[in-house]
Amino acid sequence: MDSQRPLVIFDLDGTLVDSRHDIAAALNVSLEGIGCVRRPEAELFCQIGRPLLDIYLEIGVPGDRDAAERAMTLYRDYFHEHCADRSRLYPGVVETLRDLRRDFRLAVATTKQGRMAERVVERLGLRPFFDRVQGTDGFAAKPHPAIILLLLERFGLPATRAVMVGDTAADVLAGRRAGVFSVGVTYGIGGEDELRQAGADRLASDFPILAGIVRARLNVAPD
Report how far apart, in Å, the C-alpha atoms of 13 and of each of 161, 194, 202 are: 24, 17, 19
DSSP state of 13: B
Strand 88-89 relative to strand 132-134, pairing: unpaired
Known catalytic residue at 13: yes
Known catalytic residue at 193: no
CA distance 208 to 128: 19
**Residue from 2, 11, 22, 223 carrying the catalytic annotation:** 11
Q: Is 128 exposed, middle or buried (0-12, 13-18, 19+ CB in 10 A)?
A: exposed
**Residue from 13, 99, 103, 167 carrying the catalytic annotation:** 13
- Total H helices, total E strands in the chain: 10, 8
Strand 17-18 relative to strand 162-166, pairing: unpaired
108, 12 in Cβ contact below 8 A? yes
- Active-site positions read 11, 13
